[in-house]
Structure 1
């Protein structure tokens, strides 16, 4: 039996259902938006780069983690380490710079699937690539950087490379993870990390820094790792 016409009651019922579904869809979008806004965390939130769960740096513009002021400049005897995982073949893992210095920097980035350390000091300049171990495999990997006087010790997955390469920079005052900090856009060294290797897409966890920090890390557009 065909129904050629609809009664006014049925029409009102269909209109109510469609309106409800539309509102539900709007609410769902708003909920997703609100959930995304809640990932814009700051120091003191439950998102913790020192924890085991880790945080995800999302592949959107200016998504990053940075510690803009260290309690003591990162120098002789200081160490920091962290773990990361990614499927991205290129991206900045970390870089450390001196405040108001356009030359001094040390960094680790992923280039074509391999870790590359950069040293950019007034008295030393190097690109140090670890060619044998790809890290864009979605597994957790460890990075460690330690300073002993003017020697730098670079480690990947608990293996030391480059035999304490010379790092002639004075103490670094800022640590940055995952992307470049706009405060350092004028730095000649930091500009080398953009644009190809500027954005890291992946997770970082278990960040440990021997010097301590004055203020909590600043989080932008990140969420828990899966």
Structure 2
């Protein structure tokens, strides 16, 4: 019922495609958004540094040979590729094992989700559940690859399957969190995610961003939708 209600609220038409000129028209908002990204990511990196150290130690204790951070090529604004950072929550050869799990994908569309993914480590389950694994993306925000709020950056293999309608979500800088995350996250399918992303792109304001950030914090505290 929740997914149906969301679908009814989101108004996006495949006949009407957004343009770069439309989404970049509000320069004052974009400058303010970038300023907040820089200040927010710097403060976040400083305050959360003890958590970074603790998670790094726990990851190494469970799997001493694997890296602490997981780097992955993602697609950002205007289909520009960049390296996105996360705490490693899976076994070291997770990417190699993926091809054997694609038939078990639990969401439709151009993305992969599996609730009981056998590649996830014990510490990985915890940091995914609490979204702690995403915290290194504050470095991506500081660099300008990402924003605090925006559509999640997709994988290259996902973008290959995108329609012209789906590619609209690549018109703006991707974010650490977004309207999709606070509206159902893993309980929503790909088409619903795209519609929510486009709704955000069309309606985004300074106050809308703050509202999404606030809701994200509440979800991290008590979310049951992350996996």
Normalising by structure 2, what TM-score?
Answer: 0.25
Q: TM-score, normalised by structure 1?
A: 0.25
- Which protein has the larger Cα radius of gyration, Structure 1 or Structure 2? 1
Larger fraction in helix: 2
